Amino acid sequence: MPRSRLRSRIFAVALALVASACGSDAAVGPSTPNTPNTPHATLEQALGELRLPVLGTAGISISGLFPGGPQLKASCAFSAASQSFVCPTATASGLTIDQSFTLLTSSGATQAAFDGTTTESVRSNTVVAGSVAQDGATLTVDAEEELTLSGLVTGTHSISGTGTAHLAGTLFEGSDLEISMASSIAKVVIPANTTAAGQRWPVSGTIVVETSASLTGFPPSTTRLTLMFNGTSKVDVTVTEDGVSRTCQQDLATSTQAPTCG
């Protein structure tokens, strides 16, 4: 097996370890909104769209680190000091997860209550920190993500945002591992029909994830992964690893691994 592929598999195991810990609280995923991309959306609908599963598909964004974690809820308490709604801190297998969201008008002013006619966007913040120990592996995790869902008044909903994550520890017989990730989500447009029988893939938009990693026995590695959505499950993928680029098309409906183009 080529070293790059073996290294990618080891990194995938590390991310899966964190994801399993974050999902161990048996939280239920958000219900799918019935009529997204329409004016006067509800707050529950907006918060559900911020957890669109495709954002974490195959662990390509920071969202993929905590797919089963706690949900943003309309019942989270408003804080006058931060002008945001702060959700209860959650813990799972050594990790602490803090979440909050902010309501914004079209001019960027914060709101203390959701208004279907004036709340133009919802900005969420998620912070994950702590240590995970399982099957002889130990990882310290420090991750943060900010996402903004826009278009609640105009009717075309899109998500943009950034995230960072740092994982460090030991895997498999004492091998030292360190991974740093930075993600960028640019205007990922949510389809108007996300029901099970309808379209559930972004209409357009781009996700970029840049990763640097080191593992005992391997040279340091840098990877840049770019996905461009077109309204179908088959997305255009570009993978640049250690200066070498490959392009392909991958079907996210059938894939369970991060895109590799090879």
Does residue 152 fall inside a structural domain? yes
The DSSP secondary structure of 42-111, one letter per residue, reads: -HHHHHHHTT-GGGGGGG-SGGGG-TTSPPP-TTSEEETTTTEEEPPPEEETTEEEEEEEEEE-TT--EE
Whether 153 is covered by a domain: the verdict is: yes
| C-alpha span between 242 and 219 (Å, rounded) | 10
Q: Tell me if 261 is assigned to some domain.
A: no
Q: What pLDDT is recorded for position 196?
A: 46
Residue that is written with structure tokens 């781009």 in the block? 206
**Measured distance CA(74)–CA(261) in Å, rounded:** 40
Residue 146 belongs to a domain? yes
Q: What is the pLDDT along the chain (262 residues), one digit of tens a residue?
A: 445 555 555 556 666 666 666 554 433 333 334 345 555 678 998 998 887 766 665 455 565 555 555 678 899 999 999 999 999 998 877 888 899 999 999 999 999 999 999 999 999 999 989 998 887 888 899 999 999 999 999 888 999 999 999 999 998 777 898 999 998 999 999 887 544 444 568 899 999 989 898 888 888 889 898 999 998 888 899 999 888 999 999 887 876 566 667 6
pLDDT of res. 25: 41
CA–CA separation, 213 vs 110, rounded Å? 38
256 inside domain: no
Domain holding 177, by residue range, is: 3-251
CB-based burial label for 98 (10 Å; 0-12, 13-18, 19+): middle
Number of structural domains in the chain: 1
* 147 assigned to some structural domain: yes
Residue 150 lies in a domain: yes
**Cα distance between residue 237 and residue 228, in whole Å:** 7
Of residues 109, 186, 105, the one with CA closest to residue 152: 105
Per-residue pLDDT, 166? 92
pLDDT at 204: 93
Whole-model pTM? Answer: 0.84
